[in-house]
Amino acid sequence: MPVGFLFVLGGIFSILPFFGIWMLPLGLLLMAYDIPVLQKPVGHFTIWAIDKWASLRQRCFPDRPQR
């Protein structure tokens, strides 16, 4: 859990060059692995994000086949 908390904390300081907004979801995923209360909301968000990413790719690149 400390690594997940550090990633979330690093995501807050996303204006710095090394830290970025990419650290926030990764930290939440790591924290959800240890904290049962976070598992369901983070799981729903992950499925939602995968669906949105797939629809965005299909809209931007319609002639590319899906794997």
What are the residue ranges spanned by the domains of the chain? 2-60
DSSP 16-66: SSS--TTHHHHHHHHHHHH-HHHHHHHHHHHHHHHHHHHHHHHHH-TTSPP
Per the confidence metrics, is the pTM higher than 0.75? no
What is the per-residue pLDDT across 22-36, written as a single tens digit (0 to 9) for each? 888 888 888 888 888
**How far is it, in rounded angstroms, from Cα 61 to Cα 14?**
29
* Coil/strand/helix, residue 15: coil
Identify the band that residue 1 occupies on the pLDDT scale cut at 50, 70 and 90: low
The secondary structure of residue 11, as a DSSP letter, is H
Residue 48: is its pLDDT beyond 90? yes
Spatial separation of the C-alpha atoms in residues 40 and 64, rounded to whole Å: 33
